[in-house]
Chain A
Amino acid sequence: MSSFARSPASAAARPIGDAGDFNSDIRLSVEQVSYAYSANPTQAPLFTLEATRFQARPGEIVAIVGPNACGKSTLLKLIAGSLEPLSGRVLLNGFVTHALPHRTRGQRIAMVQQESPLLFPSRAWEFVLQGRHPYGRTLRFETEEDILIARNALAQVGAEHLTDRFMDQISGGEKQRVILARALAQQPLLLLLDEPTLHLDIGAQVDLLETLRRLASANRYTVVVVTHELNLAGQYADQVALFQKGKCLRVGPPATVFQRELLEQVFQTPLTVELGSSGRPRVNMPSAK
């Protein structure tokens, strides 16, 4: 996996005081970030995200959960730096993500979005090579190194056999793997995923999360994933951030966040929570009346 470890040489621009033991350092720091959407500036905002803070280390998976329209995806965009926070800031290794130049941001932060349709058919390898774009200069043709990294990325998600297939001719689970491979080809520090398990069957969901868990520890990515799957979050995340109506109610290890009363209040439905032998919570619906 050595090709995925970020070489220290590229860290020349790291701020002073951030040169200590990299692994135990805080990599992602979300500091009192808030945001507001409004139809026009004179009106009251239609949606607000209240000040939110949490931190994550390399190799950690943070899951953002909550009901629809609670601000999960907005927070992800703020972390990615594609939205500018109203107040507060998001730091990646000490740099404000929103202020990073586009190319640098593309080298540090990879985003796996809910899939968007492709206009013209392209093959999986072409798609994965797009992940090398932030490293290329204008019109630069892909180098041997780029090809190697793309192959490696496909191998890491177990999708070598899809290399020459067309993206519109493979299953949803396979497509999600290829999209993840493109994110890996960016060799990011921070891997963001917006509902990656949407439209996947349960086998493919578990598969994807297993892959993420493995990659996070092998490549020292910091992973932030927005999801509706409470049990996947409970099973695989190191930290969970629970949101309701633009407000972060609690952040912490799954067992401390997934409390029955809290979840019932947030999701407005009766639930049961049990702790497994590994100390990880399981959320269930009580049997129907």
Chain B
Amino acid sequence: MRPLTLSRLLAHCAILSAVLFVVVVIALKLGAVPVSLYGLGHDLLRVLFRQTSQLSSEYQLIIFDIRLPRILLGIFVGASLSVAGASFQALLRNPLADPYVLGVSSGAAVGAIIGLVIEPHLALSPAVAALLTPIGAFLGAALTVTAVYFLGLRQGQIDSGTLLLAGIITASFLQAIIMFFMSTLTGGNYRGMAFWMMGELSTPPQRIVSLILRFGFFLSAAAIYTTASDLNLLLAGEKEAMHLGVDVRRVRLVVYIAASLLTGLAVSVSGAIGYVGLLVPHVMRLLFGSDHRILLPTAAFGGAIAVVVADTLARTVVSPSELPVGAMTAIAGAPLFLYLMRRRLA
């Protein structure tokens, strides 16, 4: 018998944050403009000691104004998607659940686009207008997950196969709606939108939006984490969990709202990056076990690492051009999804 202890949890998180740090340093170094590791270390130290005046302006621009914000964005987006994925998997009792597969990301995208489309028609101050996209994305995500949940019910029980089909069909329906909105756009906007739909991190969000993303992540992740041990029991079924003292309705409500918020926020800044929420929790389960008290934090780190790595690859493999990061995650994620699906059928 070796139950989870706080020290083991912290040790695993420390290892993962070290890995994340290394990945961030490598991501800062790689890119169309080469940066030496020595120069990078030097500059990072200077920034830490607040001697920013000694930085060369060129470096400062590339490292601190372009690459670092993008990496930070990737960290929060990855962590959000991964925690949302792990939560949906527990709540829906489906190891193949993920915001992308369930259509929640598409729902968030529709919400975000509606926010973009109606924004010019409302006389709003710029700060409020910037919030329309994330709010729309959250509402889109929440509505979609509710719809998919009810479509996936069979005689009052969640049916795995029905749920996934409902998610996939809902996603394709929502994609069609997105196409409808996109057809109203012109040239440059269209390409931007197409990239955004595939998932990309190259457009930095407005300051207020990235603040909301960070704040929202910590708030939602903390809310989900308070239910971590309840989620362990929910895996055994809602009835079982209820008999072990879990307030199933409360847990379901908290986790649905928080996971929809995570998905909505991530999608509103980065588009629909697929498979992170699916792939990362599975890898973490293999490494650290399926106890949500350790799975949720490690999944957050893992998601951050995965998206930063994928985005670094996306902007370097066809350099100086770029791939959408969603294309990278799909290349790795889709085969893994199929593998997991086949293994479960066997």
Chain A interface extent, by class: 35 or more
> Are the CB atoms of A125 and B229 closer together than 8 Å?
no
A48, CB-defined interface residue at 8 Å: no
**In the complex with contacts A141-B3, A163-B1, A133-B243 CB distance below 8 A:** no
> What residue of chain B has the Cβ atom nearest to residue A146's Cβ?
B3
> Are the CB atoms of A133 and B245 closer together than 8 Å?
yes
> Are the CB atoms of B3 and A129 closer together than 8 Å?
yes
> Are the CB atoms of A118 and B235 closer together than 8 Å?
yes
Mark out the residues of chain B between 236 and 272 whose CB falls within 8 Å of any chain A CB in the assembled complex.
Answer: 236-237, 239-240, 242-247
**In the complex with contacts A118-B236, A133-B244, A150-B95 CB distance below 8 A:** no
B-contact 0/1 string along A105-122, CB 8 Å cutoff: 111011101001011111
Closest chain B CB from A33 CB (angstroms) = 18
- Cα-based distance from A103 to B244 in the complex (angstroms): 8
> Are the CB atoms of A141 and B95 closer together than 8 Å?
no
B12, CB-defined interface residue at 8 Å: no
> Are the CB atoms of B229 and A133 closer together than 8 Å?
yes
> Are the CB atoms of A82 and B239 closer together than 8 Å?
yes
A257, CB-defined interface residue at 8 Å: no
* Contact residues in A for B240 (Cβ distance below 8 Å): 113, 116
Closest chain A CB from B283 CB (angstroms) = 13
- Cα-based distance from A163 to B239 in the complex (angstroms): 24
- Cα-based distance from A126 to B245 in the complex (angstroms): 17
- Cα-based distance from A182 to B157 in the complex (angstroms): 24
* Contact residues in B for A102 (Cβ distance below 8 Å): 242, 245-247
> Are the CB atoms of B4 and A120 closer together than 8 Å?
no
> What residue of chain B has the Cβ atom nearest to residue A164's Cβ?
B1
A142, CB-defined interface residue at 8 Å: yes
> Are the CB atoms of A139 and B247 closer together than 8 Å?
no
A147, CB-defined interface residue at 8 Å: yes
Closest chain B CB from A23 CB (angstroms) = 26
Mark out the residues of chain B between 202 and 237 whose CB falls within 8 Å of any chain A CB in the assembled complex.
Answer: 225-226, 228-230, 232-233, 235-237
A55, CB-defined interface residue at 8 Å: no
Residue with the highest number of chain B CB atoms closer than 10 Å, among A104, A120, A151: A120
> What residue of chain B has the Cβ atom nearest to residue A82's Cβ?
B242
- Cα-based distance from A126 to B228 in the complex (angstroms): 15
* Contact residues in B for A151 (Cβ distance below 8 Å): 1
Closest chain B CB from A231 CB (angstroms) = 28
> Are the CB atoms of A139 and B243 closer together than 8 Å?
no
A219, CB-defined interface residue at 8 Å: no
Closest chain A CB from B118 CB (angstroms) = 38
* Contact residues in A for B247 (Cβ distance below 8 Å): 102
* Contact residues in B for A147 (Cβ distance below 8 Å): 1, 3
* Contact residues in A for B230 (Cβ distance below 8 Å): 133
B-contact 0/1 string along A67-84, CB 8 Å cutoff: 000000000000010100
> Are the CB atoms of B242 and A107 closer together than 8 Å?
no
Mark out the residues of chain A between 131 and 166 whose CB falls within 8 Å of any chain B CB in the assembled complex.
Answer: 131, 133-134, 136, 138-142, 146-147, 150-151, 163-164
**In the complex with contacts A102-B245, A102-B247, A130-B236 CB distance below 8 A:** yes
**In the complex with contacts A125-B1, A129-B3, A130-B244, A139-B229 CB distance below 8 A:** yes
- Cα-based distance from A163 to B226 in the complex (angstroms): 28
Residue with the highest number of chain A CB atoms closer than 10 Å, among B5, B240, B291: B240
> Are the CB atoms of B95 and A120 closer together than 8 Å?
yes
For A119, give its contact among B3, B95, B228 (CB under 8 Å).
B95
Closest chain A CB from B224 CB (angstroms) = 12
> Are the CB atoms of B244 and A122 closer together than 8 Å?
no
> Are the CB atoms of A116 and B237 closer together than 8 Å?
yes
> Are the CB atoms of B243 and A82 closer together than 8 Å?
yes
> Are the CB atoms of B226 and A113 closer together than 8 Å?
no
* Contact residues in B for A164 (Cβ distance below 8 Å): 1
Closest chain B CB from A195 CB (angstroms) = 14
* Contact residues in A for B3 (Cβ distance below 8 Å): 125-126, 129, 141-142, 146-147
Closest chain B CB from A189 CB (angstroms) = 14
- Cα-based distance from A139 to B294 in the complex (angstroms): 10
**In the complex with contacts A147-B1, A150-B1, A106-B232 CB distance below 8 A:** no
B316, CB-defined interface residue at 8 Å: no
For A105, give its contact among B232, B245, B293 (CB under 8 Å).
B245
> Are the CB atoms of A139 and B226 closer together than 8 Å?
yes
> What residue of chain A has the Cβ atom nearest to residue B234's Cβ?
A119
A-contact 0/1 string along B3-24, CB 8 Å cutoff: 1111000000000000000000
- Cα-based distance from A32 to B85 in the complex (angstroms): 46
For B243, give its contact among A104, A110, A150 (CB under 8 Å).
A110
> Are the CB atoms of A136 and B229 closer together than 8 Å?
yes
> Are the CB atoms of A109 and B243 closer together than 8 Å?
yes
* Contact residues in A for B285 (Cβ distance below 8 Å): 120
For A106, give its contact among B93, B94, B243 (CB under 8 Å).
B243
**In the complex with contacts A130-B232, A139-B226, A113-B1 CB distance below 8 A:** no
Could you jot down 21 A-B contacts, CB within 8 Å? A82-B239, A102-B245, A102-B246, A102-B247, A103-B245, A106-B245, A111-B243, A120-B95, A120-B285, A125-B1, A126-B3, A126-B291, A130-B244, A131-B244, A133-B245, A138-B229, A139-B226, A141-B3, A141-B293, A151-B1, A186-B244
**A residues neighboring B (CB under 8 Å):** 80, 82, 102-107, 109-111, 113, 116, 118-122, 125-126, 129-131, 133-134, 136, 138-142, 146-147, 150-151, 163-164, 186
Q: A105-B245, A133-B246, A136-B229 are in contact. List 6 more A-B contacts (CB 8 A).
A: A102-B245, A102-B247, A104-B245, A116-B237, A131-B244, A142-B3
Q: What 10 A-B pairs have minimum CB-CB distances, sorted nearest first?
A: A106-B245, A134-B245, A111-B243, A120-B290, A142-B3, A125-B1, A116-B237, A102-B247, A103-B245, A119-B235
